[in-house]
Amino acid sequence: MSAPLSPRTVGPFSVKAIGLGCMNLSHAYLPRPAPEQAERLLLHALDSGVDFFDTAALYGFGANEALLGRTIMHRRDDFTLASKCVLGGKDGQRGIDGSPSAIAATLDASLQRLNVDHIDLYYLHRLDPNVPIEDSVGALSRAVEAGKIGAIGLSEMSAATLRRAHAVHPIAAMQTEYSPWTRNAEVAVLDACGELGVAFVAFSPVARGVLAGGVGPDGVAEGDIRAVMPRFQPPHLAANLALVSAFGQIAADAGCTMAQLSLGWVLSRRPYVVAIPGTTSIAHLDEDMATLTCDFSADTLAAVDALFTFEAVSGPRYPRAAQAQVDTETWDGEPLE
Residues 334 and 316 sit within 8 Å (Cβ to Cβ) = yes
CA distance 18 to 4: 9
Taking the alpha carbons of 286, 287, 288, 291 in that order, is the dihedral positive or negative? positive
Q: Given the residues 29, 59, 123, 318, select the one marked as catalytic.
A: 59
Cis geometry, peptide bond prior to residue 129 (ω within 30 degrees of 0) = no
Q: How far apart are CA 48 and CA 289, in angstroms?
A: 8
Q: Are 316 and 336 in contact (CB under 8 A)?
A: yes
**Is position 272 annotated as part of the catalytic site?**
no
| Nearest residue to 198 (alpha-carbon basis) of 65, 36, 12 | 12
In sequence order, the 6+-apart residues with CB closer than 8 A to the CB of 316 are 230, 231, 323, 334, 335, 336, 337
Picking from 198, 196, 139, 154, the residue whose alpha carbon sits closest to that of residue 172 is 198
Residue type, 243: L
Residues designated as active site: 59
